Amino acid sequence: RQSKGYGEITKRVVFSHGTEMAFTGKTVDGTSYDSKEQGTYVCAVGGLPLFSSEHKYDSGTGWPSFFQPVDPDHVIERIDTSAAGMTRVEVLCARTGAHLGHVFPDGPEPTGKRYCINAAALKFVP
């Protein structure tokens, strides 16, 4: 994977497993993290459809939050112990392995999951 051509925040998020600052995120095409526009969020690196605006909700955390991916096979969930004293579940793009964010068990029905995703790892397609 080449990191050439991506903005600094996107490179730090997707290739170095970073996290953008809360309440500031923009997708690679400039869509705000809290956009209510209807469409699909695809991987900024490989274009794989990941999340739909139909499954997006305001979690109050400052990051785009979804209660499910468009297809469970499009994301990889793996244990992440990189944060001191915390065990989280990291979410990666199944096509490229790009870091997207984390999933937590405190989301709304029907799944009870909160996919807390960095906007910089996504491209919005209306």
Which active-site residues does the annotation give? 116
Residue 27's contacts (CB-CB under 8 Å, 6 or more residues apart) are 33, 41, 44, 119, 120, 122, 123, 124
Burial (CB count within 10 angstroms: exposed 0-12, middle 13-18, buried 19+), residue 45: buried
